[in-house]
């Protein structure tokens, strides 16, 4: 199960843990993802997406249908 947003394409970034003595060890910064079901009234069906919280806010603002069309047009879907 990959940790990538289905709509925006956000994924994990690499970085370092830096200790008090300035020793650096590798770590990963994961996106804030949630599995969520959305109802699409035009198609009369439910879809399950793994979306980031920023994508959820966009869906709440514009609606799922408009967001799917926009993200499909941009090529992220």
Q: Which tens digits make up the pLDDT trace of 14-60? A: 999 999 999 999 999 999 999 999 999 888 999 999 999 999 999 99
> What's the pTM value of the predicted model, to 2 decimals?
0.78
Q: State the pLDDT confidence band at 70, using cuts at 50, 70 and 90.
A: confident
Dist CA 51 CA 9 (whole Å): 9
At residue 71, the pLDDT reads: 81
Pair 5, 67: CB distance under 8 Å = no
Question: All domains of the chain, ordered by start, with CATH?
Answer: 13-74 (2.30.170.40)
């Amino acid at each position: 199960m990959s940790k990538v947003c289905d709509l925006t394409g956000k994924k994990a970034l690499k970085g370092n843990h830096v200790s008090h003595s300035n020793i650096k060890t590798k770590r990963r910064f994961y996106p804030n993802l949630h599995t969520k079901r959305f109802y699409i009234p035009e198609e009369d069906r439910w879809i399950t997406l793994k979306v980031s919280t920023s994508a959820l806010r966009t869906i709440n603002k514009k609606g799922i249908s408009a967001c799917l069309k926009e993200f499909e047009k941009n090529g992220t879907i």
